[in-house]
Chain A
Amino acid sequence: MQISWFLQKIQFCLENCNLSQTFHFSDTGVGKSSIVWRFVEDSFDPNINPTIGASFMTKTVQYQNELHKFLIWDTAGQERFRALAPMYYRGSAAAIIVYDITKEETFSTLKNWVKELRQHGPPNIVVAIAGNKCDLNDVREVMEKDAKDYADSIHAIFVETSAKNAININELFIEISRRIPSTDTNPPSSGKGFKLRRQPSVTKRSCC
């Protein structure tokens, strides 16, 4: 069986994760880190601290007959770090933009991120929109249909997820991996890509 190593650098652009101080007792921002944790470690920590700067994680998954390796940047949502975003999305193959279905304003910030990615991001970047916290349907503020229509209008992947209940997390990443063109046909450009291509040998050693 032929196994090819793919490198996919996925970036999480997050909108501002400042939550309004409503009656909400939920302990996270929109839940970017929770989504990554669920995907990488298959765990969920309700008391997760806000990310500082950015956090880098990797995860290898088998998709059909290929191993796909995700290099994931989980970036902080705070305003202070906002201008660092280009550093992460510059070399990325995909971006997941997360909003919180229980907070209308997080969906508006999301649109700004999409705009920024379209203007300054890599031309072929795959954009995925994740409406997190779909377990909190009772306090929903963003209608699934509105978000879906918006996502379709910009040709983005759309799912509603719940990191807490592990809903649609793996599906989200599989869909991304399906959409990213394989590295053979579309090699990453510039020196950045070279650096990435060296990565597999490194990881192979550490995971065996």
Chain B
Amino acid sequence: MAADVHKKKSWEVPNGSLAPGDGQHAERSESPTPGLAQGTEPGAGQEGAMFVHTRSYEDLTSPEDGAAVARSPEERRGEPAEQSSMEQISKDFSELSTQLTGIALDLEEEMRPGKEGKLEPSPQTNRRDSVLSGKEEEDVTMDAWRMHRKHVFVLSEAGKPVYSRYGSEEALSSTMGVMMALVSFLEAEKNAIRSIHADGYKVVFVRRSPLVLVAVARTQQSEQEIAHELLYIYYQILSLLTWTQLNHIFQQKQNYDLRRLLAGSERITDNLLDLMAHDPSFLMGAVRCLPLAASVRDAVSSSLQQAKAKSLVFSILLSGNQLVSLVRKKDQFLHPIDLHLLFNLISSSSSFREGEAWTPICLPKFNSSGFFHAHISYLEQEMDLCLLLVSTDREDFFTVSDCKRRFQERLRRRGVHHALQEALRTPFYSVAQVGIPDLRHFIYKSKSSGLFTSPEIEAPYVQEEEKERLLGLYQYLHSRAHNSSRPLKNIYFTGPRENLLAWVTNAFELYVCYSPLGTKAGAINAVNKLMKWIRKEEDRLFILTPQTY
């Protein structure tokens, strides 16, 4: 794996306090200050975190071939029980099936010599189906194709096309051949290609054996951020196949056409790319919660907690791409990336709207070698409330389905159904509630809880391009703040159409957008007021008391 585009960065953290808070939050301060210790910032969980602790997207680049999420030593220090719980995890999940099915078996059969004729699947099996993926294939020779802001290509190391965001893979096979040639040419010199910058385009390469991912972008994003998005695509593919199976396939047959196994999943990958272009969750490496009164959320969480089963690992209730509640098995932490992939899966297909879906899914950051089985269903037809129950046992459908029934029953008995419906009617809050005139928008992330909050994007960011431009500005600030060679803690950015401020500490990250007429002093004053407001509202905007079974 000499070709990793990003080497794992050595993260020197001055006080080494990156571990999730241990629950000692007696000194939750009224008015947060820059010196705020992690775990006491607004939005920090009071009883430990729900998620594996991450440091923004740098964490993405850690290897995924381990049995569990790789963690750095300084993180481990804060969790004495870590070692034993990790053992437990590997014990619990050693039983997870590595292979979906008999796919690998089929493969072996196919690869037996003398069956050459059968090796190439019939063309119709392979061709990307415009009908299935819900969009027309574009002619790759047309200007319109060239004008897309961001192209994404996935290919195998043999240079075979696996995925293209626009246009059919067949038509692009020679282009992909050139890409692979570039990668191998530099590799021959024991070097690795990371990016090409030319003519306003960035061509970014990410190598994750046995796949190569390439983006061609005209966006303002940094190379690092584009690589980050490519990694998400890689994880998306792993979530369908597992790392183990992916490697097994290519070990058996280097020039395997992976599109055959990924058929029908293009829609999911397309959706992920679209989502990343307008949802800050991916940039922040965090999850947004549906604003909900603490009492209602607690009632929902305990109903979820009580509807448990032996094989259940995570019970997740979500609405849109916002988290309503998450209950996890004790000692098992979900990674925000895995949760993003689940959110994406659900938002990418309307097929979950009817009946109860039962599908294998790999959570690559949790365990890239096995499949979980997810029970996915909407609670009510007209309500945008989706329940996701993640089980380790593929035979357990009826048990898990019964958990759903029990959860709904408890919800009804506790009488929170109505309150939930009410909350769903206003899934976003307005920035006007904060009461700062020049404030247009903000993103606040609590590092210890892995959650962030953000108001609805309002005027003047009405049009889609304007919204993307705002996210682009946040991306720019984020990349400056997290620049590996020169990270910044405070940034004040004055632009022609808005002013922005970024403030990154060990405990939180805050990105604020003001009208262009305000002053820097005014902006700093507003930040203090905003932080107080978030503290005041934290039990509504965040999940402060995560539950476990």
Q: Once the chains bind, are B125 and A79 in contact (CB under 8 Å)?
A: yes
CB distance from B391 to the nearest CB of A (A): 12
CB distance from B405 to the nearest CB of A (A): 7
Judged by a CB distance under 8 angstroms, whether A202 is at the interface is: yes
Task: Give the CA-CA distance A81 to B394 in the complex, in Å.
Answer: 13
Judged by a CB distance under 8 angstroms, whether B463 is at the interface is: no
Q: Once the chains bind, are A83 and B102 in contact (CB under 8 Å)?
A: yes
Query: Within 8 Å CB of B263, what residues of A?
Result: 18, 78-80
| 10 closest A-B pairs by CB | A83-B101, A53-B359, A20-B124, A83-B102, A57-B355, A78-B264, A49-B349, A49-B351, A55-B355, A56-B356
Q: Which residues of A are in contact with B by a Cβ distance under 8 Å?
A: 16-21, 24-29, 33, 36-37, 40-41, 47-57, 74, 76-85, 87, 105, 195, 199, 202, 206
Query: Within 8 Å CB of B359, what residues of A?
Result: 52-54, 76, 81
CB distance from A33 to the nearest CB of B (A): 7
Stretch at the interface among B183-191, B290-298, B396-404: B396-404
Q: Once the chains bind, are A49 and B134 in contact (CB under 8 Å)?
A: yes
Closest to B355 in A: A57
Query: Within 8 Å CB of A40, what residues of B?
Result: 354-355
Task: Give the CA-CA distance A40 to B381 in the complex, in Å.
Answer: 14
Within 8 Å by CB of B101, from A20, A84, A105, A202, lies A84
Closest to B121 in A: A79
Q: Which residues of B are in contact with A by a Cβ distance under 8 Å?
A: 99-103, 105-106, 122-132, 134, 137, 240-241, 260-265, 267, 345, 349-352, 354-360, 374, 394-395, 397-398, 401-402, 405
Q: How many A-B residue pairs have CB under 8 A?
A: 136
Given A21-B131, A83-B100, A84-B360 in contact, is the A49-B267 Cβ separation under 8 Å? yes
Q: Once the chains bind, are B137 and A21 in contact (CB under 8 Å)?
A: yes
Q: Once the chains bind, are B132 and A80 in contact (CB under 8 Å)?
A: no
CB distance from B69 to the nearest CB of A (A): 25
Task: Give the CA-CA distance A207 to B264 in the complex, in Å.
Answer: 34
Task: Give the CA-CA distance A56 to B349 in the complex, in Å.
Answer: 16
CB distance from B344 to the nearest CB of A (A): 12
CB distance from B411 to the nearest CB of A (A): 14
Within 8 Å by CB of A24, from B131, B354, B355, B405, lies B131
Taking A55-B357, A195-B398 as given, write out 17 further A-B residue pairs in contact, using a Cβ cutoff of 8 Å, ordered by the A residue number.
A21-B129, A21-B130, A37-B354, A50-B349, A52-B349, A52-B351, A52-B352, A53-B357, A55-B358, A56-B356, A78-B264, A80-B240, A80-B262, A80-B265, A82-B106, A105-B124, A202-B405
Task: Give the CA-CA distance A40 to B126 in the complex, in Å.
Answer: 32
Q: Once the chains bind, are A87 and B395 in contact (CB under 8 Å)?
A: yes
Given A18-B124, A19-B124, A80-B240 in contact, is the A56-B358 Cβ separation under 8 Å? yes
Query: Within 8 Å CB of A37, what residues of B?
Result: 354
Can you list 27 A-B pairs with a CB-CB distance of less than 8 A? A18-B124, A18-B125, A18-B264, A19-B132, A20-B127, A21-B124, A21-B137, A26-B131, A28-B131, A40-B354, A49-B351, A50-B132, A52-B345, A52-B349, A53-B358, A53-B374, A54-B358, A55-B355, A55-B357, A78-B265, A80-B264, A80-B265, A82-B101, A84-B101, A84-B360, A87-B394, A202-B402
Q: Once the chains bind, are B260 and A49 in contact (CB under 8 Å)?
A: no
Query: Within 8 Å CB of A50, what residues of B?
Result: 132, 264, 267, 349, 351
Query: Within 8 Å CB of A18, what residues of B?
Result: 124-127, 129, 132, 263-264
Closest to A71 in B: B398
CB distance from B374 to the nearest CB of A (A): 8
Q: Once the chains bind, are B134 and A47 in contact (CB under 8 Å)?
A: yes
Query: Within 8 Å CB of B355, what residues of A?
Result: 36, 40, 55-57, 74
